[in-house]
Amino acid sequence: MKNCLDTSAWIKVFHNGANSHHFSPLVIKSENLIVSTMTLYEVWKYCLRTVGPETGNSLISALKPGNVIFIDEKISHLAASISHEKRISMGEAPIYATASLSDAILRTQDDHFKDLPHVRYFPKIKTKKLQG
């Protein structure tokens, strides 16, 4: 079975955050992992905003062993249709379209995907902040 992690899942893997146990084992089996170029974009943007380019480069390298799928005309058309019909953002729709056209299961914790076919949704786990 092929798998595709959305951006929020990758971020949980990087930080060993809540729900990372659902996603981390899939990263190890990179031969079955699909990575959208939109995910590369979103993860890099996240890295620039939070950890900087040096750490960002090492995090991005974790995505590359997967099968990187470039956004082509077919993915673009499906993504636009999905975005229009399901009200999914321009950034998220190509990731879902890439997974769909690759016969992969999209693994996510983003609730806007939860009712779509071929999605394995894991609700976000809220953690309590320590007061100090």
| Distance, CA of 75 to CA of 98 (rounded, Å) | 6
Q: Is residue 107 part of a domain?
A: yes
Q: What does the pLDDT read at residue 64?
A: 84
Q: Which helix H or strand E contains 35, and what residues bound it? A: strand 33-36
The CATH number of residue 80's host domain is: 3.40.50.1010
Query: Strand, helix or coil at 88?
Result: coil
Q: Do 6 and 95 meet the contact criterion of CB atoms below 8 Å apart?
A: yes
At residue 131, the pLDDT reads: 58
* Residues whose CB falls within 8 Å of the CB of residue 69, separated by 6 or more in sequence, listed in order: 34, 35, 36, 37, 75, 98, 102
In this prediction the pTM is 0.89
> Which residues, given as ranges, of the chain have pLDDT below 70?
127-132
Structural domain count, the chain: 1
Q: Is residue 128 part of a domain?
A: no
pLDDT the model gives residue 37? 95
pLDDT attached to residue 129: 56
pLDDT in tens, 17-55: 888 999 988 888 788 999 999 999 999 999 999 999 998
Q: Give CA–CA dist 92/97, Å, rounded.
A: 9
Indicate whether 30 belongs to any domain.
yes
Rg for the chain, CA atoms, rounded: 15
Asked if the structure places residue 130 within a domain, the reply is no
Calpha distance 28→121 (Å, rounded): 20
**Domain of residue 18, residue span:** 2-121
Quote the pLDDT of residue 127.
63
